[in-house]
Structure 1
Amino acid sequence: MNSAVIIGCGYVGKAVAQRWQPTLQVTATTTTITRVSELEGVAHRVVILNGTDLAGMRSLLQDQPIVLLSVGARSGDAYEETYLGTARTLVEALKDAPAVQQVIYTGSYAVYGDQGGAWVDEESAIAPTNRNGEILAETEQVLLSVKNAVKVCIFRLGGIYGPGRTLVRIFGRSAGTTRPGSGDEPSNWVHLDDIVGAIDFARQQQLEGVYNLVGSVPLPVRVLLDRVCSQNGLPTVAWDPTQPSNRAYNARVSNQKLRTAGYQFVHPEVVETG
């Protein structure tokens, strides 16, 4: 049985582990000892690892052809250590891990920043609007610097929704409120099913390079929130165009490259929000 290691086994990593467990020998990492028993249900082995622990990372990567890096920062202050620190440690450890054939990383479309609502693809210039976006961009560059025969596949994820993380749960508190701006900015979301599906597709097809992982239809935020409210019997959201929007990201993100590679989206458009 082939093996894979998942560094960071949160909402996405745990779901990938469930997909891979029947056919791959899965090792999952966590920084939280209390999650070990939970992850033992979806992985063959669970390792407690801080992403900046070089010795631990070197040990982890031995005899592991596939590495999924799917970390998440607990707070804005932890971005640099969580993303950039872990990526630097991983790249250094790869020098002593000849078995690794592919690294798959789940990043964010936040690196595109404010593009004035224009369409962007993987060839578009990135323009992070804050330090955390810059950290995500730097993390990509660190991973893409990997030499030798390791294929690096970077997914720029949209906002994540799915079981336990429904859009009504995310936006329900906005019902009946007034938000600044017109709500015309595009929203880029991706369902957990498609994150897991695309990651597994990347593994099977040995993809490398950068791919946007978002749905096919970037609904305006106003339309999305109207849909959330109407489907769940909530009062609608009002908008105040006299106030500047507080959204840091404004771009229509294209997933055409991933679809051209052969991936077929399960949820190309947000339909169910509850």
Structure 2
Amino acid sequence: MAVHTEASRSNGSDASGKLFIFGVGYTGLAIAVSAMNRGYTVSGTCTSDSKLQALQNGYGISTFLFDGTEPLSIEGVAAITSCTHVLSTIPPGADGTEPVLLHHARHLQRSTRLQWLGYLSSTGVYGDAGGDWVTEHTPPSPTTLKARARLTAERAWQDSDSRVPARVFRLAGIYGPGRSALDTLVAKDGDMAACAGARDAVTPVSRIHVADIAQARCRGAPAAAPPLLVNLADARPASRHEVFAHAARLLGCAAVPAAADAAYVSARGGGSKRVDGTLLRRMLQARGLQLVYPDYESGLAAVAEERAFRISNLQS
């Protein structure tokens, strides 16, 4: 997957540590490949045999089945306890039950090798800010069942009795190759009007390219003073209309007029807010780095280049 190349460019190896990722999906795989390119040995979980074979044969990731209903196999538990770094990308149950902690909290507590523990959450926990900015100091105010469950899971990780404190990363809207406004437009045959919320020009949405999620995890703040809560968002919140209109220009498609899409805003349920990613940028600056894609324009341009999107895609 081309998505990983930007996140994986290395200026040398951080460590020869061992990373275990609960949930090697779209984001988890980007983190896994970036970590391997920096000298980590990576293992993790998925939910199907086909994904397991793809991860093991295609990426060399030692993978175990885990869907949250039952504990890992004996071999999987051994992999957890041998790792120096553990990250969970798995969402909680509807009631906030955290499947990893439910089955494996005791293994994390007993691990003598554990140096770092992380959990990927969502900026949805902030709820509706009326379009204002939210920071890590903004009190959470989730408005949906999904967001409330996320906040419950966050707190479970923060209150866990593991040997090291858990770092919580609140992710804005994730995009990248295979998961972007460009991909959506292609799937809709270039019809911007058919893309959900593409007319909405009033709701600010914050985003983060998957490559920058991987970069934040693998090359973040110096270990001497790691933050326990970080928003992962780029520097330029924008409405869906702005983003889809730019994607349409890249594809050579016609853009639809902007409008106040009340139906989409209501269905979205996450409220209106701009997520401040200043702390993330400071973390990266501490290592002499910066966001690979500081805004949607640079991120979509990279997607277009990597996937060679053209108007011919729509005609074939």
| Alignment TM-score > 0.5, same fold | yes
Greater CA drift, 63-72 or 171-180: 171-180
Cα distance change, pair 203–100 in 1 and its aligned pair in 2 (3 A): farther
The correspondence for 2:204, drawn from 169, 186, 189, is 186
Q: 1:6 is matched by which residue type in structure 2?
A: I
For 1:229-244, what aligned pairs fall within 5 Å after superposition? 229-241=248-260, 243=262
Residue 13 of structure 1 and its aligned partner are, at CA, apart by 1.3
Structure 1 equivalent of residue 50 of structure 2: 34
Cα distance change, pair 204–61 in 1 and its aligned pair in 2 (3 A): farther
What value does the CA root-mean-square deviation take over the aligned residues? 2.7
| CA deviations over 1:178-217 (Å, ceiling 9, x no partner) | 9598522111111111011001024863734110001111
Structure 2 equivalent of residue 75 of structure 1: none
The correspondence for 2:112, drawn from 98, 107, 120, is 98
Structure 2 equivalent of residue 5 of structure 1: 20
Structure 1 equivalent of residue 166 of structure 2: 152
CA distance in 2, matches of 1:161, 1:242: 22
The correspondence for 2:82, drawn from 27, 48, 63, is 63
CA distance in 2, matches of 1:224, 1:269: 10
For 1:115-264, what aligned pairs fall within 5 Å after superposition? 115-147=129-161, 149-170=163-184, 173=188, 175-177=192-194, 183-202=201-220, 205=223, 207-241=226-260, 243=262, 245-246=265-266, 247-249=268-270, 250-263=272-285, 264=290
CA distance in 2, matches of 1:107, 1:242: 27
CA distance in 2, matches of 1:108, 1:240: 27
Contact 1:17/1:42 (8 A) holds in 2: no
Greater CA drift, 232-241 or 251-260: 232-241
Cα distance change, pair 202–144 in 1 and its aligned pair in 2 (3 A): farther
Structure 2 equivalent of residue 107 of structure 1: 121
Contact 2:87/2:118 (8 A) holds in 1: yes
| Identity across matched positions, percent | 23
Residue 83 of structure 1 and its aligned partner are, at CA, apart by 6.7
Contact 1:83/1:136 (8 A) holds in 2: no
Residue 148 of structure 1 and its aligned partner are, at CA, apart by 5.1
Residue 60 of structure 1 and its aligned partner are, at CA, apart by 3.7
Q: 2:64 is matched by which residue type in structure 1?
A: V
CA distance in 1, matches of 2:21, 2:121: 14
CA distance in 1, matches of 2:130, 2:96: 29
Partner-residue secondary structure (3-state), 1:110? helix
Residue 265 of structure 1 and its aligned partner are, at CA, apart by 0.7
Residue 59 of structure 1 and its aligned partner are, at CA, apart by 3.6
The correspondence for 1:24, drawn from 40, 50, 53, is 40
CA distance in 1, matches of 2:172, 2:23: 18
CA distance in 1, matches of 2:253, 2:167: 40
Cα distance change, pair 182–11 in 1 and its aligned pair in 2 (3 A): closer
Cα distance change, pair 53–150 in 1 and its aligned pair in 2 (3 A): farther
Cα distance change, pair 181–150 in 1 and its aligned pair in 2 (3 A): same
Contact 1:193/1:266 (8 A) holds in 2: yes
Structure 2 equivalent of residue 43 of structure 1: 60
Residue 81 of structure 1 and its aligned partner are, at CA, apart by 8.0
Q: Which runs of 5+ in 1 are unaligned?
A: 73-77
Structure 2 equivalent of residue 267 of structure 1: 293
CA distance in 2, matches of 1:242, 1:148: 45
Structure 1 equivalent of residue 30 of structure 2: 15
Q: Which runs of 5+ in 2 are unaligned?
A: 1-15, 305-316
